[in-house]
Structure formats: structure tokens, C-alpha cells
Amino acid sequence: MVTYGIYPGVARKDALTALCHYRWDDYRRVFGGDLRAYLDFLIEQEEAARYGDDGPYRVVRVPFVPQRFAEWLAGHPGWKDDPDGHGAWALDVAQDPDALRAIRDEVPLLTRAPAEEKTASSTFFIAFLTMYGPDQDPGPLGRTLPSAFLAEVGETLRASLADLPPFTPLSRLRSEGIAIVPGNRFVDPDRAEDAAELLESQVLREVRQGSPPGTAVPVPRSLRLHAEADPDSLQTVVLLLPVVVVGPQELIDYVEEKWAAVGDPVGRALGECFHRHLRLPAPPPGVYYEATIVPPYLAGAFVNSVFEELDALDDLDLDDYDEDDEDEDDDFPQRPPGRHGPPGPHGRRHIRRIK
């Protein structure tokens, strides 16, 4: 099956995709536009050639040579005023090894699409474990988070990436540096994948429309963490704060590796930030205090592994579990003084997981 109109200069026959490659001078003559538009065009044309519903595809790049195209057009006059004429010519050349070799000898070097500059986004999660007693209400954890907390989270993460420049758009599709945009709510761990896709696409769309990255991205109420007080159980709550990183994909990959390498100091700083701003209960001995930065594809596995490890807490004596003594916060109510409530059977409290 032959397909035209995929993208300017791109045509396909079965698994073979021909890409009519325009040099800078040819692009200006054919399409007009400045250098930024040309580099964006190269990125989009390459992606259109490589990806589709019926792939994989074998992409053959045919350098555009006006004289060769004019010679072909003389024998195919029906394509004279057709916008897909260049793609049709490239497809014919791609199927003729001798013609393709001759054109490549004439134009041996092609301008590469600057894929390393293409703006992308990825949602990481700051995972933090906390526990609520029977007389404590974790419900406020589903509310919009304090702006001061989100600002400090962003500053802490940015400080760990001091070697990277700030995000700067180079064109509609290209950029340099990175920006960090936290979500404004904790998300339901069971909806982490949905939240990651939604938030990163929202931030990327706004950036490509010319808006600078904001200080926070709204998390829909449908994806927020839902936690309720339980009068009979000590509740283990996994907090997942989404953080969207936007910038060239090459730098986003570097960010993931960097955060994995410097996890402990950053995790401790984030853990202190969580406790200082959100008035979380102090963790009992042996329970996580540091935060963990989790890439989106590991969020579900991370939560499952946490609760598997917490099975051991069923035999943990928590009679000495005390609370810290923080000042009151407007968004998160002050914890009541004293213990977390009466112990469960056999002197131990029931532990219920919230995720």
C-alpha cells in the first residue's frame, strides 16, 4: 500500500518510508521560514517517517536535488502542482538503488535533525512513608499543598542539579537546560501512571505554546490521594508527590541517573522538608524517614515493595511510638498530643495500609 500526505516530503510503500531531505537553502526556497523553523521541521519530519500505526518502518533518506526532481517531474507531470510531489519522487528514488546511489554521491552529507535538543517531559515521584494513629486524620493529605512546601521541594531538587542550566526554549520544539515543576497535590499511588502521563503532557503542551514552566502543575482531584481516619488501626500512608522535569530528553535521562546517584543526601533534605511543612507524625524506629525519588516506570513497583516490607511491622511493638512537636500549619491541622490511641489485641496496634 502506498501512502502520501504523511508529512511534507514523506511517502510510504508498505514498510518502506522515503524521506525527502531538504538542505537549509532548499528548505528556504520551498517553505520559507527561519533557521529555528527549519530545525523543528527536521525533527518533525524524522518522527513522521519513523513512526506510524503499522510500523516498524525502514526509512530511506533521499537528498532533495532540484534538478533531479525536475527531470523526474517531466516524466510524471501529474505531480507538478501536488504538495506530495517531493515525497512521491523520493519514494521512486528509494526503490531504485542506482538512482539513490547517484544522488547520495552528489549530496554526501545530510543535516541531522537535532533530536538531542527536542523538548520532552517526564514525571518523577517523590515517595515518602508516614504513619497515622487511630486518633489522627490523614484526610488533609489530599488537599492542595502549601506553596512554601512546593517551592522548597523545587529548590532542593534544583540544587542537586546545579551543573545544569535553567530551562530556555530555543524554538517551538527545542530547548536547553531543565525546569522542575512539582504537582500541587499528592497522588493516589494506584493512579500514578495516569497522573504521570497527564501532568507531563500538560506541562509540555504549555511550554510548546510559549508559556514558561510554572511553579506548580495542578493535579486533578480525581487523581489525588484519598486517606481517611481509622479508629482501630495505625495507618501506613505512602505519599507520592509528582514532579515534572521538562527539557531535552538527553538531559532528562541525565537527571534520572544523577538523582539515583545522589539519592541519600537529597532524600534526607526532602524528608526534612516534608516534616517541617506538613506536620507529619514522627516515624517509629525502623520505618522510612528519607524521601525517595522514583522514576514513573517504577512507581507501582516501589509502592508494592514498600508494603511487602511493611508486613514485618505486624509484629512490631509500637507502644513507644511518639510524635514530634511542630508548630501549627494552616493547611495541615496540628496533631493532638499524646499517644496514637489504644493498642490493638496482644498489646500491638493494627496496621492498615493506605495507598
Where do the domains of the chain lie? Answer: 2-113, 116-354
CB 224 within 8 A of CB 188: yes
pLDDT band at 44, cuts 50/70/90? very high
For residues 154 and 286, give the distance between their C-alpha atoms in angstroms, rounded to a whole number: 28
pLDDT band at 330, cuts 50/70/90? very low
- Reply yes or no on whether the pLDDT at 132 is more than 90: no
Torsion of CA 174, 176, 182, 188, to 10 degrees: 50
pLDDT of residue 228: 79
pLDDT band at 290, cuts 50/70/90? confident
The mean per-residue pLDDT over the stretch 298-316 comes to 72
For 230-243, the pLDDT digits (tens) are 777 777 788 999 99
Q: What is the pTM of this model?
A: 0.80
pLDDT band at 349, cuts 50/70/90? very low
CB 186 within 8 A of CB 126: no
**Residue 288 pairs with which residues in a beta bridge?**
none
For residues 16 and 9, give the distance between their C-alpha atoms in angstroms, rounded to a whole number: 14
Give 17 or 276, the one with higher predicted confidence: 17
pLDDT band at 328, cuts 50/70/90? very low
CB 3 within 8 A of CB 12: yes
The mean per-residue pLDDT over the stretch 107-122 comes to 94
Share of the chain above pLDDT 70, in %: 85
pLDDT of residue 223: 94
- Reply yes or no on whether the pLDDT at 335 is more than 50: no
pLDDT of residue 285: 61
Percent helix, percent strand, percent coil in the chain, to nearest 5: 45, 20, 35
Give 114 or 300, the one with higher predicted confidence: 114
3-state SS string for 288-315: CCCCEEECHHHHHHHHHHHHHHHHHHHH
For residues 53 and 81, give the distance between their C-alpha atoms in angstroms, rounded to a whole number: 28
The mean per-residue pLDDT over the stretch 184-193 comes to 93
pLDDT of residue 47: 95
Q: How are beta strands 58-63 and 16-21 bridged, if at all?
A: parallel
Share of the chain above pLDDT 90, in %: 65
The mean per-residue pLDDT over the stretch 63-71 comes to 97
Phi first, then psi, for residue 106 (nearest 5°) are -75, -35
- Reply yes or no on whether the pLDDT at 331 is more than 50: no
